Amino acid sequence: MDRIRIVGGQTLNGVIQISGAKNAALPLMIASLLTAGTLTLDNVPNLADVSMLLRILGHHGVDHSIDGRRFGAAPNASRPIHLTARDIVDTMAPYELVSKMRASFWVIAPLLARMGEAKVSLPGGCAIGTRPVDLLIMALEKLGASIEIEAGYVHAKAPKGLKGATIDFPKVTVGGTHTALMAASLAHGHTLLVNAAREPEIVDLADCLIKMGAKIKGAGQSLVEIEGVGSLNGASHRVLPDRIEAGTYAIAAAMAGGDVMLEGAEAGLLQSALDAIEQAGANVAVTNEGIRVRRNGAGIMPVDITTAPFPGFPTDLQAQFMALMTKAKGSSKITETIFENRFMHVQELARLGAHIKLDGDVALVEGVEHLQGAPVMATDLRASVSLVIAALAAEGETMVNRVYHLDRGFEHLENKLGGCGAMIERLSNPA
């Protein structure tokens, strides 16, 4: 199993190209099930999760092709993917596939909307909490589907098609909003989503669906209106830049010091995080090329944050920001409101010398002058990259184990950081 070795103490200077957003690419790929036409997605990141979803979609009958690498492009760079679901050959998604990636449960919406039936395995456990699918099921029931849950499978039926309805989400749910958008696009009549998620990835999906012929108004707002259509067509769409990747590298630059240009990043997608990074003492400048993050020899200032749905501070940057705060000149408070088990990185950061106390959903971080490299274990995607960030500023060598978590969400992380001066390498098949 691969490991990543980091020797800390190097400042970061250079350019990092921001990849397409994984959290946008996955629902966009699933939307290919809604049409017999070809959906072409550009700027799809080359990630383990993308490869796994291609396998899952292939199980349902989706053919795909990936364009060859352009001359001069980096190896394994983001490339266009063409997805064609001309014929749905199977409306069942088995446990052995769905259990490998929770987002694949969302195939239930387009399969049900287009075919009138879907049988999808419940996704099972998750390292960062329960992440239930009850709100997704509720949305489909509101649209007229009959739902039975038996032997670990959700069996949804709507033989006469889905019908428009008002779906009032009791709490903001990204998965529920994605599901409702896809299902309602082919439902009969008018659908109103109340308390819809506002994340940029929701807007990206809606924009793509509109190109495919859907009638959607208000995406990015709490109220979204969808007028169902009889069928959707193929389209071409470019995946938006990954705000979580951009925020991660911005935090890395603030941690290690130096001057980094995040090429292709869009500040409007992560303004709350950029505000917190500036409060911590980094200089953040928005340019035509992207976002430039600089920190000279000045220390890191403590900043309190609370995670919240967009446009608040994203939960997917909480672990990275906590790593930054371990070197702050003072105490900071980090409150996690989205997932109940998203502090598993705390014990691994402590192995590097961090001083962190947990009290329920609050982490109290007392900044230290020095972190010390050590062997650490990644527990989930965002936790693993927080260890990389801490290691950049730690003295000596840090070995990050279980890096397959990183490969799920960060495209060639060691190459991007190494290109800016970090002493980082991937070690394969250790003895």
Rg (CA), the chain: 22
Which positions make up the binding site for phosphoenolpyruvate?
22-23
From 89, 126, 149, 358, active-site residue: 126
- Check whether residue 27 and residue 156 sit in a common domain: yes
- Check whether residue 132 and residue 245 sit in a common domain: no
Q: Specify the range with the lowest mean pLDDT, choosing from 250-259, 343-352, 399-408.
A: 399-408
- Check whether residue 369 and residue 406 sit in a common domain: yes
d(CA 409, CA 272): 21
**What's the mean pLDDT in 21-27?**
96
Q: What share of the chain is helix, strand, coil (3-state, %, to 5)?
A: 35, 30, 40
pLDDT at 286 over 60: yes
- Check whether residue 162 and residue 69 sit in a common domain: yes
pLDDT, tens digit, 9 for 90 and up, residues 228-251:
999 999 999 999 999 999 999 999
End of a domain among 211, 238, 265?
238
d(CA 382, CA 386): 6
Q: Given this model, what pLDDT does residue 67 score?
A: 86
Question: Can you list the alpha helix ranges (DSSP code H) found in 21-173?
Answer: 22-30, 48-60, 95-98, 108-115, 134-142
How do strand 397-401 and strand 3-7 relate by DSSP bridges?
antiparallel
At 10 the three-state DSSP class reads coil
**Domain carrying residue 297:** 3-19+241-427
E-assigned strand segments in 153-201: 153-157, 166-168, 190-194
Q: Specify the range with the lowest mean pLDDT, choosing from 70-84, 87-101, 290-304, 326-340.
A: 70-84
Residue 72: CB atoms within 10 Å: 6
Q: Given this model, what pLDDT does residue 339 score?
A: 76
Q: Given this model, what pLDDT does residue 431 score?
A: 47
pLDDT, tens digit, 9 for 90 and up, residues 174-227:
999 999 999 999 999 999 999 999 999 999 999 999 999 999 999 999 999 999
Per-chain mean pLDDT for the chain? 93
pLDDT, tens digit, 9 for 90 and up, residues 368-377:
999 999 999 9
- Check whether residue 405 and residue 265 sit in a common domain: yes
Sequence-distant (6+) residues with CB within 8 A of 213 are 229, 231, 232, 233, 235
Q: Given this model, what pLDDT does residue 130 score?
A: 45
Which positions make up the binding site?
22-23, 102, 131-135, 316, 338
End of a domain among 222, 238, 254?
238
d(CA 345, CA 384): 8
Closest by CA position to 91, among listed 38, 24, 158, 169: 158
**Percentage of the chain with pLDDT > 90?**
84
Q: Given this model, what pLDDT does residue 69 score?
A: 64
Domain count, the chain: 2
d(CA 145, CA 163): 9
Q: Given this model, what pLDDT does residue 382 score?
A: 76
**What's the mean pLDDT in 248-269?**
97
Q: Given this model, what pLDDT does residue 430 score?
A: 52
Q: Given this model, what pLDDT does residue 132 score?
A: 67
Give the DSSP per-residue string, 268-290: GGSHHHHHHHHHTT-EEEE-SSE
d(CA 143, CA 146): 9
pLDDT at 86 over 60: yes
Which positions make up the binding site for UDP-N-acetyl-alpha-D-glucosamine?
102, 131-135, 316, 338
- Check whether residue 163 and residue 272 sit in a common domain: no
Q: Given this model, what pLDDT does residue 74 score?
A: 59
Q: Is 126 a catalytic residue?
A: yes
Q: Which residues pair with 291 in a beta bridge?
A: 262, 286
End of a domain among 238, 271, 290?
238
What tokens does 430 get?
């250790």
d(CA 334, CA 76): 36
